[in-house]
Structure 1
Amino acid sequence: MSSSIPVPPSRLRRPLWIATAVVVVVLLAVGFVVVRDRLGRCDGMDDVRVNAAGECVGISAGGSDFDQEALSAVVERVRQANAEVEKGEYVSVAVFLPMTPSRTSIITPEWVVDQVEGARLAQVRHNRSGVTPKVRLLLANPGGDMAHWREVVDEIDARRRTEDHLVAVTGIGLSLENARQAIGRLTDAKIPVIASTITADDIRFDGLLLPAPTNSRQAAAAAKQAKNFPDTSALMVVDTNREDLYPRTLADAFTKQYEDGQHVVVEQEQQYDSLLGSVDNAFGQMMPNICATGTGLVYFAGRGRDLVLLVAKLKDRACADKPIRIFTGDDVTAAQLTAMDLRSNSMRNVEIYYTEVASSHAWVVDRDNPLEETRKFRSAAVEGFLGRPLVFDDIPSFDAGRIMGYDAVLTATSAIKGAAGKDGGLVDSAQVMQTVKLLNLENAVYGASGELSYGNDGRARHKVVPLMRVTAEGRSQYVALDSEPTP
């Protein structure tokens, strides 16, 4: 009869069990972190993350549309354009825009699409020209009101030292306090900024270029046109929102340009604060004052979304027989134009004019000018934007944001080309920062919005300003082109 001999437990069994448990815990922890990271990204693509408000904020090379269906098509085109330059040496330009506007934003999804598409067109033109280094676009979203500009600017700064080789920032587009602070941080880091549609005169930084005509420039053009009408005084309607730099600078600029020995701005401004809400009610309270004043000329210093509300209130004014001409700046979108219904009897005496930062309709001014060097719009520049020969009898209508988004990136690529020199090698942001200061005189950039000769203050000198009129059907009609005399 045999008896079983007990086998003592292995001395390795406990350490092996512990080691296995540790590995499992580590793998679970890593998996949790990875899953949480992926879930924290808007669509699991690129470095675009969901913030507490549910916005998709961050930077994408075309892999994320920031959960904005309206952007999907243009973002896909950017992704494809970027894919064409992934082999070989390239640098990156960030298009920094509020890409997630809300219903109450001063911008629209269509505005964002136009800015991005313009930027892409300039990127494609540069990359197909044979000039090196080639350029990739990074889409940078600081949130609908740019509230998250700090973290996005930090990421932009970091990407200078990665394979992205980021060298410049374009876009921004809005004269907001958040935009001013973002520009300050970027230029302090020696990253040049070409702000597509910023017009406020008091946003100035070393390394900031403004290709769009400033508020002063637009106000001068509006004042000149306003003086063609019989009224010799103008009533100011102005937004006092302290977070928005655009309205006050526009109001001050128009006042300075309009007032002379024969023309004055009415002392009592009609003010509203868009931050407080109830803007339509405030405009309703203004109607008796607009009717009672001795002038039919109104200068509106505010955003296009608010102009739509003001125009709507004019339908109920008691003085429907009094002619009223409203002048304003460039912050008017196609959708807002459509919302301004001027066809009713109560609106028959209302005219609306606005200055624009750019207009494809303005290209007709050069129709009979055979000399390329004296054209307001160089044929090669316009055809580069169009991607085909310019036919004056068939000029498509483009939103100004697309033209200025194009010209901003065109400026950036011109600076990159100058920094790279004949060798065409990689450059850094400091080298491009040095070059942007020299894009003037013989080195001026010729864009779809006209000549871009940047002064030492960063502003494009002698920019032409289109004057537009809103038709009864809510369309934009080109009226005239104002150009400064060249000294």
Structure 2
Amino acid sequence: MTHATPGMRRYHWWQAHRGLAIIAAVIAVVAVSVAAYVVWPRTEPPVHITDGSHVFSADLARVEALISAENSQVRASGHYVSIAFVDIMAPRKNIDPVPPDSIRHDLEGAYLAQMAWNHPIGKQPATLVQLLLADEGSAEANWLEAAHAIEEKVDSPDHLVAAAGLGISVENTRKLIKELSDHNIAIVAGAITGDSMTKTLDGDTPVPGMVRVAQTNTDEASAAVKYLDNDKTIPESPTVLLVQDQNEGDDFAKTLGTAFARSIQNDSARQYKLTSPGMFYNSRLSGAGEVLKASAERVCETRADVVYFAGRGNDLQGFLAGLATRSCAGERALTVVGAPDIARQTNTQLWVGQDANMTVIFTGLVSAEMWTKDKPAASGAIIDRFTGTCAYCFPTLFPGERLDDGTAVLSHDAVWTVERAILELSGANPGISLSAGMVAQQLNQLKVPGASGWICAFDTNHNPVNKAIPVMSIDQNGHLTYKALSSATGVPPTACGS
């Protein structure tokens, strides 16, 4: 049974002023929090989970203060469950392939979902949501400590029922997922696309009690090929060079290249010619970007029309710098294709000069432009949370913050999916005492109206079926342009039936 979705379009004046009053109070303490973080060295043991009162980094101080304030209100109600949002809270440059901005956006999106649930139009839910923040550590090295901290919250006054987010598609994330699943904790992954991430470590079966809201690498690759099939700027029988990161610990890169090669081999619209051997590098070793920059001339040697980059966006930056000065730029145009991680390079200088004769496109996880140019691709009621003017809408809570990297939207949808499970369970069973196992069981039954696209079903591996995938281009200055909307089949759903 489908129930009404808590919305966020219009508020009474007292609701609006209450929200703004809370925000103003929070801003008043943020400066003190940041000063304390910067001035006094931290000698206490590391904190792996917090209600927002512990500041993981100065960059997160404001959003953590907002979360902490809301959590205090939630605990005062006496009727709540907790969701742990799991991430690399303080990423380190040249170690973690995510910039601090992405983590801040993650937390902003998770907080938005918390506020949407706790402050709906109309009747307030019987069970409120407390949002806890769990830190996996740089390189997700503290995944086990984070898992234990989360597990301790299940049979505690915090009454934790789920973990959301989970960081990125690497081996340590899979270990974290296994540990949480072994303790029957519901898991909703956010911006995680690696094909193996919803499967058990010791086999090919799906992880019990887990779903993801992001599209898989297989779906991303299929959508990219569907777009290339209709691209009139490339030859009818294009030569394709696959550039593959061989870092075995990175499921994102590892499964991306395989998925793309399989997609072009199975495609009937065009005769793609995949060169053999391709190009290989290993991001686990130092200097990957510089090596790729020095090796870019290989594109001319293979006479490639299309390059598919199966790696992280931070490594692509060096490769593009080399491609921009390739010797064959004047005689052969080049289309470089990548996957969602490229969005993290937004507003970054990727190459210099005007003679690159190169187009860079990628399949994304979400684009705010699809909300206006392909409106049915996502739920209008949920989109309003990111575009509206209400007290608890994104522009009010986080003025000037960007949505173009997609992380706030995916993190919102991950937390929102847990809340949808709570809604279904409590609606069908008024007065129910929710448990982590119940929420885990409910996840696969859901239809989720998300801001990143409609999820009308999860498949047998707990992945969203045929979810919308925006195709974007990125220029040398890191500016994004929306190109088209695609999906694994080429046509995403525009709504879910009842």
Alignment deviations for residues 317-342 of structure 1 (CA, whole Å, 9 cap, x no partner): 22231311100000024545422135
Change (3 A) 1:396 1:239: closer
2:430 is matched with: 423
- Mapping of 1:267-306 within 5 angstroms? 267-306=276-315
Alignment of 1:102 with 2:92, yes or no, is: yes
- When the two structures are superposed, what TM-score results if normalisation uses the length of structure 1? 0.82
The letter of the residue matching 1:100 is A
Matches within 5 A, 1:162-181: 162-181=156-175
Contact 2:349 2:476 in 1 (8 A): no
Q: What is aligned with 1:207?
A: 209
* CA positional deviation for 1:398: 3.9
Task: Identify the residue that residue 380 of structure 1 maps to in structure 2.
Answer: 381
Structure 1 Cα separation of the partners of residues 289 and 342 of structure 2: 17
Instruction: Indicate the residue corresponding to 2:106 in structure 1.
Output: 115
1:424 offset after TM fit, Å? 4.6
Mean Cα displacement is larger for which, 128-137 or 260-269? 260-269
**1:457 paired residue number:** 461
Paired residues for 1:438-457 under 5 Å: 438-439=445-446, 444-452=447-455, 453-457=457-461
> How much has 1:92 moved relative to structure 2?
0.3
Equivalent residue number for residue 61 of structure 1: 51
Deviations 1:179-215 (A, max 9, x none): 0010011112110110101101112212111111110
Alignment of structure 1 residues 32-431 onto 2, 5 Å: 56-66=46-56, 68-87=57-76, 88-104=78-94, 105-129=96-120, 130-204=124-198, 205-227=207-229, 228=231, 229-230=234-235, 231-259=237-265, 260=267, 262-321=271-330, 322-341=332-351, 344-347=353-356, 349-366=357-374, 375-388=376-389, 397-421=403-427, 422-431=429-438
Check the 8 A contact 1:359/1:466 in 2, yes or no. yes
Query: AA paired with 2:340?
Result: D
Q: Counterpart amino acid of 2:461?
A: D
Comparing 451-460 and 398-407, the one that deviates more: 451-460
On the 8 A contact 2:486/2:492 being kept in 1, the answer is no
**TM-score by structure 2 length?**
0.80
Deviations 1:270-296 (A, max 9, x none): 000111112134214422311111222
Residues in 2 aligned to 1:49 and 1:434: alpha-carbon distance in whole angstroms: 41
Identity of aligned residues (%): 30
Evaluate the alpha carbon distance shift between residue 198 and residue 276 of structure 1 in structure 2; reply closer, same or farther with a 3 A threshold: same
Q: Counterpart of 2:321 in structure 1: which amino acid?
A: A
Corresponding residue of 2:482? 478
Corresponding letter in the other structure for 1:110: D
How much has 1:74 moved relative to structure 2? 1.1
* CA contact 1:61–1:137 (8 Å) conserved in 2: yes
Q: Could you tell me which residue of structure 1 aligns to residue 24 of structure 2?
A: none
Structure 1 distance, partners of 2:43, 2:80, is 26
> CA distance change for structure 1 residues 144 and 94 in 2, over 3 Å: closer, same or farther?
same
Aligned-partner SS, 1:339:
coil
The change in CA–CA distance for 1:339 and 1:58 in structure 2 (over 3 A counts) is same
**Structure 2 unaligned blocks of 5 or more:** 1-35, 199-206, 394-400, 494-498
- Aligned residue pairs, count: 420
Mean alpha-carbon deviation: is it higher for 255-264 or for 103-112? 255-264
Secondary structure of 1:145's aligned partner: helix
Query: Once the 2 structures are TM-superposed, how far is the Cα of residue 301 of structure 1 from its aligned partner?
Result: 0.5
Aligned residue type for 1:140? A
1:134, 1:300 → 2: CA distance? 43
Cα distance, 1:486 vs. partner?
7.2
Which stretch of the first structure deviates more once superposed, 78-87 or 420-429? 420-429
Distance 1:232 1:126 in 2: 49
Aligned partner letter, 2:322: K
Rg larger in 1 or in 2?
Answer: 1
Secondary structure (helix, strand or coil) at the match of 1:326 reads strand
Separation (CA, whole Å) in 2 of partners of 1:477 and 1:346: 20
**Maintained 8 Å contact 2:313/2:345:** no
Structure 1 unaligned spans of 5+ = 1-41, 368-374
CA, structure 1 residues 466+366, in 2 after alignment: closer, same or farther (shift >3 Å)?
Answer: closer
Deviates more, 1:448-457 or 1:133-142: 448-457
Gap change, CA 1:138 and 1:49, over 3 Å in 2: farther
| 1:57–1:143 Cα contact (<8 Å) kept | no
C-alpha deviations, 1:31-66, integer Å up to 9, x for none?
Answer: xxxxxxxxxxx97xxxx9866xxxx44101011121
**Higher RCO (C-alpha under 8 Å, 6+ residues apart):** 2
**What is the identity, as a one-letter code, of the residue corresponding to 1:467?**
V
The 3 A distance-change label for structure 1 pair 424 and 308 is farther
Contact 1:89 1:426 in 2 (8 A): no
